[in-house]
A and B are shown apart, each in its own frame.
Chain A
Amino acid sequence: MFWERDPKGGYDSKTKQSRTKLVREGLKELRTEIFKWQQEVKEKFEDDPIWVMPGDRNKVWELNNEAALENWNVTSDSDHGEGFSSGSLTISPTGHGLFSGHISTQVPKDGRVKTAGYCNLKSMRPRKSFKRDSYLDWSQYTHLEMRVRGDGRNYLLNIGNAGYFDITWNDVYSYILFTRGGPHWQLTRIPFSKFFLASKGRVQDNQVQVQLDQVTSLGISAGDRINAPFRLEIDYIGVYHDPNHTETFAYEMYRVPKFMGS
């Protein structure tokens, strides 16, 4: 109630591996990690940061082959027996990422779960060499840009902003991705200023803007309470810089009276 035991809130996989096995598998990765570290050192000496010009777009994730999909994780309520939805991320016939599945709002009769019906896609946490946690730095950009082909349903975009302390582990900044539907691709640009703070599925009273130099993940959720298959084809997800967008936060920031917001 007052602290978090682990960043996954008890929803991690239940299979525990022996320590010797973990050490053995860890040593296998030593080679790749050292290589990564070498690159990082080289990069530091090169000292050639990204210089973002107006109108620049950076495709952060391009979902065009099987290898690109390994950077993503699909979860749904059926994973932990809390519902009957299912979903997957595959390569579509046209060669793009395809987030599809079925949403079911049927609630399992265990007396514990109140509502059900979501399927979620989340990118893996960026890491430096030797599995050290790292962040994506989008502070030079103003918009999230994505090229998708949806089915007319609404999805939720979640920018993970996990920090050091446990209270921030579940911080997520969200906005809705509206899809037009139809055979045409749609290019969507959403200003980062529009993303609002939520945690564990609850929109927070005290809102702050997203920390763009501390992005830990990006997620797309399907959960619009329509019992039907969903389909969202994703070409790429990236960031865009528009200097004319000067809004920093789209929601009211005045102080509410005491005891009104928590």
Chain B
Amino acid sequence: MALRGHLLLRGLLHSTLRNVSVIQTTCNRTPTLVSHVRTITSSHTAFAARRKNDNVDEKTSMTIQGFFSSKEKNKDVFMVACDAFRTRGPQLRGHVEFIYAAMKNMEDFGVHKDLEVYKKILDLMPKGKMIPTNIFQQEFMHYPRQQQCAIDCLEQMELNGVLPDSETEMILRNTFGKHSHPVSKFGRMMYWMPKFKNASPWPIPASPPNDALELAQLAVARMCTVDPSSSVTVLQTNTVEDAIDDTWIVSGQSLTQQKLVEELPVDQPIKVEGPFRIFLRDKLVGYFILRAEARPPPEPIKREVVDDVGSLKFWFTGEVDPEEETNLGRPVSVHEQEDGIILGVCATGTSSRDSLLSWVRLLETTNPNLANIPVLFTQASPIGEVMAIDQLSNKSETATIPT
């Protein structure tokens, strides 16, 4: 039976595919969500039974949990727990249980995206002993529970977008041998994950900043990639007189948009709408837009009658009717959509009405026509779904989403 391992597809999506991955060692094409490790569980029970019989080391899962019961949860404590396990003896008894327990606790300790920690727990497996020495052992998954444990650990790395390195490979090779399933899984991860790591046309740092202003700058710059003439500026509301809030505004507007503002009729109001959501990996930023109602599509240009000799037309030779419309028309910029003209985007420190008013005031310096146009502040918008009000009342409009 050919055992196959495959990359986990859903992992691909996460964080621009920094994580793809892999491989259950079950048969051919495994379902994603359901674990199919029945053969492995059965070996687990045999393993557990043997441990009970030898009665040398009465470590239960309760004592393993004890390694991670520290009140203080950080990387150092986690590493110390791993070291403490190592000191229990050279046999490293119960390392599979310990690694599973560690994997479960990684997120609480905030180390689930840390390659060093993954290497640390994979390194807890004894070296040499589990390397197959003949083809039968190799074909029939020598030490299945341990191999599955290593595969699950690699899969967790993949889901969290952690790219392994050659040291990880050496750990796996020294533990399970060159042709083992964990090493195959490692190979698949190293093939696919770098392929998609930088595939996004709008790259974001692997760990986006936590600072709200930096995030807002990234978000606005990303939205502004639609027009190369855009510029992103950070404005301060304290430069506006009568401004109540003292905060920052990240404003993005292009030269095309400024031109559109100048062409707007002064009798029709334009709207500031939002906040809408934009995601930068797992970080959420709320942004606002300045939008005017869509103009009717440009009038097609009528063909001009060059030589009117009493409206002579001879359709048979292909002479066209002068009244016929052509497809030629005014070129439409990317901002003029059928659902409105986008005149600018911004994100502010407080997301308050006052800060948006300051934004419009500050835009007037580059868009003089804006002073003449009535501006409405609304929440509902056809462009997108606005964020909840309670998110608005936060001090900052950026919120970190727990993963």
Contact = CB atoms under 8 A, between A and B. Distances in A.
A153 B345 CA distance: 19
A225 interface: yes
A260 B178 CA distance: 10
A62 B32 CA distance: 30
Interface size on A, as a range, is: 35 or more
Interface in A161-191: 167, 170, 174, 176, 178, 180-186
A94 B383 CA distance: 7
A65 to B, nearest CB: 15
B238 interface: no
Contacts of B192: 203
Contacts of A100: 385
B33 A82 contact: yes
Nearest to A235: B338
Interface in B358-403: 381-385, 401-403
Nearest to A170: B29
Nearest to B6: A202
Interface string B209-243: 00000000001001101100000000000000000
Contacts of B291: 183
Nearest to A96: B339
Contacts of B3: 262
Nearest to B381: A93
A135 to B, nearest CB: 21
A200 B342 contact: no
B16 A154 contact: yes
A210 interface: no
Interface in B277-295: 277-282, 284, 287, 289, 291
Nearest to A256: B187
Contact of B4 (A156, A183, A262): A262
B96 interface: no
Given A151-B279, A202-B23, A262-B3, A227 B9 contact: no
Interface in A37-94: 77, 82-83, 92-94
A30 B242 CA distance: 73
Given A94-B338, A170-B29, A226 B279 contact: yes
B28 interface: yes
Given A116-B33, A201-B31, A184 B200 contact: no
A94 B382 CA distance: 6
Given A184-B342, A224-B15, A202 B289 contact: no
A115 interface: yes
Please classify the interface of chain A as helix (H, G, I), strand (E, B), loop, or mixed, using the class held by over half of its residues.
loop
Nearest to B31: A200
Nearest to A177: B13
B335 interface: yes
A182 B6 contact: no
A180 B33 contact: no
B401 A227 contact: yes
B89 interface: no
Contacts of A9: 31
A202 B192 CA distance: 12
A100 to B, nearest CB: 7
A35 interface: no
Contacts of B24: 202
A205 B188 contact: yes
B388 to A, nearest CB: 10
B205 to A, nearest CB: 14
A185 B222 contact: no
Contact of B6 (A83, A114, A205, A231): A205
Interface string B331-348: 000110111101001000
15 contacts: A1-B27, A82-B34, A94-B382, A94-B383, A151-B276, A167-B28, A180-B223, A181-B219, A184-B334, A198-B9, A202-B22, A203-B8, A203-B9, A203-B188, A262-B2
Interface of B: 2-10, 12-17, 20-24, 27-35, 159, 179, 184, 187-188, 192, 195-196, 199-202, 219, 222-223, 225-226, 276-282, 284, 287, 289, 291, 334-335, 337-340, 342, 345, 381-385, 401-403
